[in-house]
Chains A and B, each alone.
Chain A
Amino acid sequence: MAPALAVHELAKRYGSVEALKGVDLSVEEGELVGLLGPNGAGKSTLVKIAVGLVRATRGRAEVAGARAGSRAARAELGYLAELFRFPGWYTADEVLGLHQRLARSEGGAAERKRLLELVALADARDRRVDGMSKGMQQRLGIAQALVGSPRVLVLDEPTSALDPAGRRVVRVLLEELRSKGASVLLNSHLLSEIELVCDRVAILRAGEVAAAGSPSELSRPRGVELETDEGLRTVEGATREDAARLVAEAVVAGRRVYGVRVLTSTLEDTYLEAVGEEVS
C-alpha cells in the first residue's frame, strides 16, 4: 500500500531562496509524523507542496499514491494552513457547511455538531467568524480540516494560537485520530507536544532533513545524577545499567545516598543540536 504521504528529493526555489533542497519524507498509513525546524526551515513550504498549493521545483510528492495537487490527492486530504482566514460574515456552522459541500461530505448537521464539540466550540456554533478570537478561529480551522473524515491530515502549526487547554484538546484529538487509523503530518514549534503524540519526527534545517527518527531514538542517554551528603554529582556518559553500581560504590565509599536519577537528553537537546544552536 502506498504511504499516506510521501515526498522524494523534493526541492523548491523561490527566486533566489532555496526553501527545500531535496527532502525525503514519508508518513505511513496510520502514522503521526511531526515536522520540526527553525523559522524559515521550509516546513510550511513542504506541506504546501504536499497539499498542492505550491509547485515543486524538483522532486515528487504523493498523497495516498496520487500526485500531490491532483484531484484524487485532494479528495484524501484535510488541511489546516499556517495562515488562513474564513469569511468574517460566516458563522462557525456555515463555515463547516461550506466545506462539507466542497468536500462532498454526507455528514450533515450531525457531523458539524460533532466537530464543533470536538474543538470545544459547541457554544459558538452561531457566532460569526469576525466576532471570534484568534484561538477560536484556529479551533474552527481544525474542525474544518476534519470535515469528511479525511484519510490524511496535514496540520501546519495547529496550536500556535491556542491556550493550554486548547493544546490539550488538540493532543487528545490527535491521539484519537491515530487510534482511528488516520495519518497525520504535523508542523509545530512545540517540542513537548510533538514528543507526546508523534510516532516519528523529522527535523528540518535550511531546507534539508537534519535528523529523523522516533522521539525515543532522538532522546539519547546523557548520564546519571547522584545526590549524596557531598551534594549533587553527575556521571557523564553513564547509563541506566550503571546506576546500581554507582550507588553501591558511593555507599562503599561511606557516602549517604539520597537519590539517583538517569538523565536522558530531551528532544529539545537533540533539536537544538540538529539545528546548530548551543545546548545550554
Chain B
Amino acid sequence: MSAVLTIAGYGFREALRRKVFAVVVLLTAVFLVLFWLANHYVFTRLSTISPPADVNVDTRTFAGAFLLGLAMFATLFLGVVLAVFLTLGVVSGDAERGLLQPLVVRPIGRTTLLLSRFLGAAAVCSVYVLAVYGIALTIIDLTGHWTPPAKVAPGLELAGGVVIVIALSILGSVVLSSTANGIAVFMLFGAGLVAGLLGTIGHALNSHAILHASKVAAWALPFEALYQDGLRLISSNASGLTGFLLQLGPFGGAYVHGWGIRVWAAGYLCAALALALLAFSRRDL
C-alpha cells in the first residue's frame, strides 16, 4: 500500500512539474468562462428560442439540457486530454529516458508499479471530471434555474469514460513510443466521436445499417457509450425523448445505453488493464 502511494505520488509530482495541471486548469478556466457567458445569453433571451417541432419539452428544459450536453462533451474532451498527458509515456517514454529502470528493479515489482500509475491518474482525472461537471451544473442552475433529472450518474459515467481512456493509454504506453501512443489514443477518441456522429446521421437518414455500425463502434469504444448514456440521463424524463436527444449536438445521441453498457465498460476496463500488465511483465526494458 505504501509502495502504491509512493509511486502514485511520484507520478503526481511529475505531472505538477511538467505543468500538465497548469495547462489543464488554464484551459478549463477559459472553457468555464465561455460556458458561463453562453448560459447567460441563452437564458436571458429564452423567449427567442423555440425547440424543434417534434420535441415536446418546454424551452427552458430544452436549452438547459442542450447546454449541459455541450458541457459534458467538453468535460469528456478535457478529461481525455488530461488522461493522455498523464499516462502517455509511463512505460516506453520513461524507459527510453532511463527513468523507469531504477524503479522496476526495486521489490515493488512491475504489476504494482503500473497499477499505482493507473490508480494515481484515475484518481486525479476522476476528481477533475467531477469538478468540471459539477461547476457546469452549478452554472446552468444559477443562470437558468434548471437542473437535470439525474445529476450524479452522468458525472460518474463521464469519469468512468475517462478512466477507460487512461487504461487504454497505459496499455498503449507499453507497446508504443510516447508520440505514437498519444496519436493512437486521440485517434481512438476521435473514432468514438465519429461513432456518435454516425448514430445521429443514421437516425436522420433512418438507415438501419449506419445505426448498427454506430452501435458496434460504441461497444468497441465504451467511453463513447458511457458518454451517450450520460446524455440520455440528463433528459430521461423529458417526453419526445429520441427526437430531443438528436439535438444534443453532433457528438452523439443515446443509441447505446443502460446497465448492459456499464457492465461491459467495467469488464472492458479490467481487460485493458490486465492486457497492459501482461504486456508489461514480458517487456524488455
Expressed in whole angstroms, the minimum distance between the Cβ of A92 and any Cβ of chain B is: 14
Q: Report A96 CB to chain B, min CB distance, Å.
A: 11
B126 CB, min distance to chain A CBs, angstroms? 24
CB atoms of A103 and B101 under 8 A apart: no
The reply to whether the CB of B2 lies closer than 8 angstroms to some CB of chain A is yes
Known: A53-B285, A83-B98, A87-B99. A103 touches B14 (CB 8 A): no
**Bound CA–CA A83/B100 (angstroms):** 11
Q: Is B10 an interface residue (CB 8 A)?
A: yes
Q: Is A161 interfacial (CB-CB < 8 Å)?
A: no
- Chain B residues closer than 8 Å to A74, beta-carbon distance: 105-107, 109
A258 proximity list for chain B (CB < 8 A): none
Question: Given A71-B107, A77-B105, A104-B107, are A53 and B284 also a contact pair (CB < 8 Å)?
Answer: yes
Q: Does B22 contact A (CB under 8 A)?
A: no
**Interface mask (B79-122 → A, CB under 8 Å = 1, otherwise 0):** 00000000000000000011101111111110000000000000
B3 located at the interface, meaning its Cβ lies under 8 Å from any Cβ of chain A in the complex: yes
**A102 to B98, Cβ gap below 8 A?**
no
**Bound CA–CA A77/B102 (angstroms):** 11
Q: A52 contacts which chain B residues (CB < 8 A)?
A: 104-105
B105 touches A86 (CB 8 A): no
For the complex, what is the distance from the CA of A52 to the CA of B106, rounded to whole Å? 10
Contacts of A257 in B (CB 8 A): none
A contacts with B, residue count (CB < 8 A) = 28
Q: Once the chains bind, are A81 and B102 in contact (CB under 8 Å)? A: yes
Shortest distance from the beta carbon of A154 to any chain B beta carbon, whole Å = 9
Residues of chain A from 10 to 65 with CB closer than 8 A to chain B in the complex: 14, 48, 51-55
**Residue B6 CB within 8 A of the other chain:** yes
- Determine which of B6, B14, B97, B102 lies in contact with A101 in the assembled complex, contact meaning CB atoms within 8 Å: B6
Query: Quick one: CB contact mask for B244-263 with A, threshold 8 Å, 1 for yes?
Result: 00000000000000000000
Task: Count CB-based A-B contacts (< 8 Å).
Answer: 66
User: Cβ of B6 and Cβ of A55 under 8 Å apart?
Assistant: no
Is B17 in the interface zone, CB < 8 Å from A? yes
Q: Does B282 contact A (CB under 8 A)?
A: yes
Q: Which of A54, A85, A88 neighbours the largest number of chain B CB atoms within 10 Å of its CB?
A: A85
B6 touches A85 (CB 8 A): no
Taking a contact as CB atoms under 8 Å apart, the answer to whether B107 and A89 are in contact is no
Cβ–Cβ contact A54 & B284, under 8 A: yes
Q: Is A99 a contact partner of B101 (Cβ separation < 8 A)? A: no
Asked if A98 meets B6 with Cβ closer than 8 Å, knowing A74-B106, A89-B17, A104-B107, the reply is yes
- Asked if B107 and A101 make an inter-chain contact with CB atoms under 8 angstroms apart, the answer reads no
Residue pair B101, A53 in contact (C-beta under 8 Å):
yes
Is A89 a contact partner of B97 (Cβ separation < 8 A)?
A: no
Q: Give the contacting residue for A99; candidates B102, B109, B285; CB below 8 A.
A: B102
Q: Which of B2, B10, B97, B105 contacts A53 (CB 8 A)?
A: B105
New A-B contacts (17) at CB < 8 Å, excluding given A102-B3, A102-B107: A48-B284, A52-B104, A53-B284, A53-B285, A54-B284, A54-B285, A81-B102, A84-B101, A84-B102, A85-B98, A85-B99, A88-B17, A99-B106, A102-B106, A103-B106, A141-B102, A144-B102
A to B CB contacts below 8 Å, 24 in the list? A55-B282, A55-B284, A71-B107, A71-B109, A74-B106, A74-B107, A81-B102, A84-B99, A85-B99, A86-B99, A87-B14, A87-B17, A87-B99, A98-B6, A98-B10, A99-B102, A101-B6, A102-B3, A102-B6, A102-B103, A102-B106, A102-B107, A103-B107, A141-B102
